Amino acid sequence: MKKISFFAALLLCLCSFSCKKNRGIPLDESEPLALAPDVSWAVVIDPYAAFRKNCDWSAEVTGHCRKADVLLVEGKQISPDGIWYRFTDGWLPDSSVYVYANRLRAQNVADGLK
């Protein structure tokens, strides 16, 4: 009888811990394109990267970014120098970024790079 009482008490304790309501995951709506299916996001992996005016290493520098920056991909082009991605400030080569299907995944990777 003591064993049954002990197991009943143990089962009751386990149920009280595991039966809590699921609070859900809050959705950050600050970036409307964060989960859009046809939009890609990039994470800069170089300590510093220079945006280029065109898809060419010798093209004019139009800006800079840093490691772990998360950027919205606006275009993609294959050139003799490789694959390049277009962003608001210019072009970056694929060797400078990792590209992801949504902003949340890109932000998680960026947080790990910091």
Lowest-confidence segment of 3-17, 34-48, 61-75 by average pLDDT: 3-17
- How far CA 86 is from CA of 11, 54, 96, 98, 110, in Å, comes to 58, 9, 12, 13, 19
How many CB atoms sit inside 10 A of residue 84's CB? 24
State the pLDDT at residue 45: 98
> What CATH number has the domain bearing residue 82?
2.30.30.40
Better-predicted residue by pLDDT, 60 or 27: 60
13 inside domain: no
State which amino acid sits at residue 90.
G
Phi, psi (degrees; rounded to nearest 5) at 21: -65, 145
83 inside domain: yes
Tally the domains of the chain: 1
23 inside domain: no
Ranges 14-23, 30-39, 45-54, most confident: 45-54
- Answer whether 0.85 is exceeded by the pTM: no
Tokens of 107: 């932000």
Domain assignment of residue 63, given as a range: 33-113
Residue range 55-111, pLDDT digits in tens: 999 999 999 999 999 999 999 999 988 999 999 999 999 999 999 999 999 999 999
Phi, psi (degrees; rounded to nearest 5) at 7: -65, -35
